[in-house]
Structure 1
Amino acid sequence: MNIYQPLKSIQESIMELENYLKNELSEATVKNYLYEIEKFRKHYKNPGKLKYQNIMDYVELLRKTYNPQSIKRTVYAIKKYYDYLVETEKIKQNPAQNIKIRDGKENPVQLQELLTEQELQKLLEPREERYPILTKRNQIIMSLLVNQALLTSDIERLRIGDLDLQNARISIHKTGITNERILDLKADQILLFYQYLQEEREMLTTFRTEKENYFLLGKLGAKITSDDINYLVSTYKKNFTKKLTSITIRQSVIKLKLDQGENLRKVQYFAGHKHADTTEKYKETGVDALQNAINQFHPIR
């Protein structure tokens, strides 16, 4: 009997789980999920045999130490773990599927603080970059934030195969919090993408990144990260008085579409929201509109 076989089997299982998570999640999220899953597996020696109530008992245990938002993240990780077990046919049903943590206080969308259409367009204006070789890449990133309202994790995981320039479309893969979707590209994006692929990316590509086929690369040839994208956005802050992050850009685009009368379901699909009520949070009520007008035109301001 090979005494090393069980250890090898465990290591292979962890690698398999990690690869599964990487198909849908950003590297940072994968790292966090693996940490939470490992804690869960240490608490329950046989997680594949657990029922709904067993997992709820674990949630109640977490409540004694962690805040609701931390617990929600842990539950998301556990759900993905059981999704993996189902897809690899180790179990038949996900016992955590219907668990919802309702006491987590989500940050409400501050509609009055979001960017206007003119302010969003300002982010697309050409500018001189510190590294000229990254000029088109940076323009592409900002265009994906403003035109398609992508999350940074969506952008960092884009591969060349996700682009369909002939039909002016881009495929966005599902994540733990968003659905997959196919979005239209603007006419100016098509030319920009094509020029980047033919020029800048050719110069940025290394032997390693050529195989990985990631669309957007850093100056050293590695794929960009969410940190790279957030840093790029931060360099625009000096031109804005409002809070400017990749998230507020996304929120502003979603709200603008609803303000312009686009169908709620279409906007939900566009944003990748799994539930319509997530999209509805961006709809401005009559009371909201009145308050915004007061805030904008109050003489004391």
Structure 2
Amino acid sequence: MNIRDYLSKSLMQSSVESYLYDINKYKKNNKNADKYDYQKVMQYIEIVRNEHSVNNVKRVIASIKKYYDYLIETGKRKDNPVRAIRIRDGKANPIQLQDLFTEKELQLLLIPRIERYPFLTKRNKIIMGLLVHQGLRIGEIENIKITDIDLEKATIQIHKTGITKERNLPLKAEQILLLYEYINHDRNQLKTWRNNENALLLGKLGTPIRKEDVDYLISTYQKQSKKKLTATTIRQSVIANLLTKNNDLRVVQYFAGHKSPDTTEKYRQTGLNALKTAIDKVHPIR
């Protein structure tokens, strides 16, 4: 039984032609498709997602599922690596290739610049450093206390949130001096009677920073990039870059504060370098 006959058993003729088109294209651009595992198939699907509408992507996934079902039916394979894949909308996987930054691009966010409010210069550098070096969420940055900083051990304690775990992360050398100067000088200038005595990062009115403050700071860097720049895309990029360096999954999971290794694994499947390599090799949209 050939694949056309197999598809004809459950599909209308018009659908058979559509499925065959997708399957043949998939096989043409993936020479060992019959042996692919979940991750390999997802690399291809991620490329298609960056070029096509949600409906087209759903059709491609359905076609690929049928292809592997056919291999099982004919005894050429024992499993379907993509049986459980579902795309409910355009953002089934929030980690998008086009939103990720390379390490070099992230480092550009740390280049010194003239601030509108000079007395916030060190504070702003600290915030950007926590985003780029530690990959923190905004909620985690808001909750940092002075007592969470250990300059002697060069570490920072990150408190747990509703979706991330508590962890102790190393500080970069440049962060240590910056934090020392900020805590002992700049922060004292910002303090007011309204201040929470232990909050590390303060706004220009002396109150603890809020999410809006961090969002605004990040937005002032947007003109440097054509990609969407947010705390989320910065964090996703930091995690993905760590995985592309072949860091142990458990180490990256701890670094990110993920409660499950499955959450961390998603970043490996859509890692920037891995997908760029896949694009160079596959070129599925031609």
Q: TM-score normalised to the size of structure 2? A: 0.64
Q: Which runs of 5+ in 1 are unaligned?
A: 1-102
Q: CA deviation at 1:266?
A: 0.3
1:269 partnered with 2:254:
yes
Q: What's the CA shift for 1:291?
A: 4.2
For the residues of structure 1 that align with 2:259 and 2:92, how far apart are their CA atoms?
16
In structure 2, the partner of 1:223 is 208
Deviations for 1:133-155, whole angstroms, at most 9, x for unmatched residues?
00000000000000000000000
- Tell me by how many angstroms 1:261 deviates: 1.1
Q: Is the 8 A contact 1:181 1:272 kept in 2?
A: yes
Equivalent runs, 1:30-41 vs 2, <5 Å: none
Aligned length: 196
Question: Residue 199 and residue 278 in structure 1: after superposition, are their counterparts in 2 closer, same or farther (change >3 A)?
Answer: same
Candidates 160, 172, 177, aligned match of 1:186: 172
> In 2, distance between residues paired with 1:217 and 1:169?
20
Question: Residue 176 in 1 paired to residue 173 in 2?
Answer: no
* Structure ID, larger Rg: 2
Aligned to 2:227: 242
Deviation readout 1:213-262 (Å, 9 max, x if unpaired): 10000010000011100110000000101111010000000000000111
Match of 1:278 in 2: 263
- Identity level (%): 56
Residue 196 to residue 283, structure 1, CA distance change in 2 (3 Å): same
Return the alpha-carbon distance in structure 2 between the equivalents of residues 225 and 293 of structure 1: 42
Q: Which of 155, 170, 187 lines up with 1:201 in the alignment?
A: 187
Which residue of 102, 105, 113 maps to 1:116? 102
Per-residue CA distance 1:88-129 (angstroms, 9 max, x = gap)? xxxxxxxxxxxxxxx897543113430011100000000000
Q: Is the 8 A contact 2:243 2:267 kept in 1?
A: yes
Secondary structure (helix, strand or coil) at the match of 1:170 reads strand
Q: Which residue of 2 aligns with 1:135?
A: 121
- 8 Å Cα contact 2:98-2:227 kept in structure 1: no
Other-structure match for 1:293:
280
Q: Distance in 1 between matches of 2:226 and 2:276?
A: 20
For 2:274 and 2:191, locate their aligned partners in 1 and report how far apart those are by CA, in whole Å: 52
Structure 1 moving runs of 4+ over 6 Å: none
Larger RCO of the pair (alpha carbons < 8 Å, separation 6+): 2
Report deviation, 1:287: 7.6
- Of 112, 125, 146, the match for 1:160: 146
Map residues 88-127 of structure 1 onto 2, 5 A cutoff: 106-127=92-113
1:199 match: secondary structure:
helix
RMSD of equivalent CA atoms? 2.5
Q: Distance in 1 between matches of 2:279 and 2:98?
A: 6
Cα distance per residue 1:43-86 (max 9 Å; x no partner): xxxxxxxxxxxxxxxxxxxxxxxxxxxxxxxxxxxxxxxxxxxx
Give the AA of the match of 2:257: G
* Residue 80 of structure 2: aligned partner: none
Alignment check: 8 A CA contact 1:160 1:214 kept: yes
Partner amino acid for 1:193?
Answer: L
Structure 2 residue ranges without an equivalent (≥5): 1-87
Q: Distance in 1 between the 2:211 and 2:277 partners?
A: 36
Q: CA deviation at 1:294?
A: 6.9
